[in-house]
Amino acid sequence: MKKQFAVIGLGRFGTSVCKELFRMNHDVLAIDRDEDRIKDLKDFSTHTIVADATDEKMLTNTGIRNFDNVIVAIGEDIQASILCTLILKDFEIKQVWVKAQNEYHHKVLDKIGADKIFHPEQDMGLRIAEFLTSEKVIDYIDLSDEYSIVETLATKKVEGRSLADLDIRAKYGCTIMAIKQKNKVDVTPHPEDTLNKGDLLVVIGHKNDLRRFQNEAL
């Protein structure tokens, strides 16, 4: 379903969010105070507006009050990011998602009602560390400090063995959510399903349990 998004601040993060939403066929309003940044986004957004997002009047004139989803991707200027978020929450915009620069910034954003707070650099750092430390990890989603979802490769060690036989939940406290085998994805794995080398397992669990599962079982 087509949705409407506004992206404020077109640094690397804001630009890639904007381009991706537009590629997914959503309506995207791109806002930045720098005209050059706006020019680069003309072909990758529905509307572009040059505006200072800390100026309430200017923001009102962009028509942003009509949007349910706004992403604030102003990075270094923490003061501007906070002020802009405050104005957007005053406008009663339903979902204001904000990029945070550090933990202090995060705390303030949380207090003033940001609906979701991102730490793209930190998240990417965690993902890369996870890839570097395990050659079996294909992809990784951080759910919290403790829990994550990993996409991991089944090795020769589990070839021909069933999920019941491996008893993963009891032994490791992890749950296999899906199994990707060649051209098919099984999102309701059954205990009798058997694994082959090269299958992709999508597994959810505590990070320590996931690590143990990958090191011992696979």
Binding site for ligand ATP (CB under 6 A): 8-14, 32-34, 37, 52-54, 74-77, 80
- Which of 11/173 has CB closer to ligand ATP? 11
Please report how close the Cβ of residue 91 comes to ligand ATP at its closest, in angstroms: 15
Please report how close the Cβ of residue 107 comes to ligand ATP at its closest, in angstroms: 18
- Which of 11/189 has CB closer to ligand ATP? 11
Please report how close the Cβ of residue 34 comes to ligand ATP at its closest, in angstroms: 4
Please report how close the Cβ of residue 85 comes to ligand ATP at its closest, in angstroms: 11
Instruction: Kindly tell me the number of DSSP H helices and DSSP E strands found in the chain.
Output: 9, 11
How do strand 116-118 and strand 95-99 relate by DSSP bridges? parallel
- Which of 77/186 has CB closer to ligand ATP? 77
- Which of 6/74 has CB closer to ligand ATP? 74
Structure tokens at 115: 């609906």
E strands, 89-183, in order: 95-99, 116-118, 137-142, 147-153, 175-181
Give the span between the Cα atoms of 53 and 33, in whole angstroms: 7
Q: Which residues of 93-106 are buried (b: 16+ CB within 10 A; e: fewer)?
A: beebbbbbbeeebb
Structure tokens at 195: 């694994």
Q: Which residue is nearest to ligand ATP (CB)?
A: 75
Please report how close the Cβ of residue 130 comes to ligand ATP at its closest, in angstroms: 21
- Which of 51/176 has CB closer to ligand ATP? 51
Starting at the earlier edge strand, list the strands of the sheet with 4-8: 47-50, 27-32, 4-8, 69-72, 95-99, 116-118
